[in-house]
Every structure is written in C-alpha cells, then in structure tokens.
Amino acid sequence: MNSETTEPKANLQLVESIVQLIRSLPTVDRQILEQRLSEELMEYPEVTTQEIMQIAHHGGAFDFLHDEPDLYTLEDGEPVQWP
C-alpha cells in the first residue's frame, strides 16, 4: 500500500481532549473561539454548484457525450412547475 495515498489515522484521544477543553472554557471565551473558527472556515469557502458545473463543462470529462444521439427533445415530457 502506498503511504502517500493513505489517510492519516485520527487521534481520537487528542480530539476528545480538545472537546473537553472547549467545554471547560467560559462562555465569553467559547464565543471568541467560535468567531475565530468561523473566520478561519470562511477563508476556505465551499465550492459552489456553479463552479462545479464550470469544471465539469470545461474539464472534458463529458466530451464523449457530444458524439451521442440526443434521446430527448424540448417537446418531450411536461414543464416543471416550481412552487
């Protein structure tokens, strides 16, 4: 097995110790920690659906579909009614 592809094992004891430490903090300190963690997470926002669509479109993974026949037309089915 290649060591580069294996994920590191979780240190459950460390995680549990950190959780207990956080629970022991005064409310004000916990709020500050929550704010800082929120800010840190915002530095790495999640990829949007639009970005995933652009990657799929420009990445070439689905180019083989251009050679396939269109099975459905705009006349097939019924329009979707959104609430």
What are 38-60's pLDDT values in tens digits? Answer: 888 877 778 888 988 899 888 88
Could you tell me the residue ranges of all domains in the chain? 12-66
Question: Across residues 74-80, what is the average pLDDT?
Answer: 83
Q: Is the model's pLDDT at 36 over the cut of 90?
A: yes
**pLDDT reported for residue 13:** 93
Give the whole-angstrom CA distance, residue 26 versus residue 74: 61
User: How many Å is the Cα radius of gyration of the chain?
Assistant: 24
Question: At CA 43, angle to CA 40 and CA 47, rounded to 5?
Answer: 125
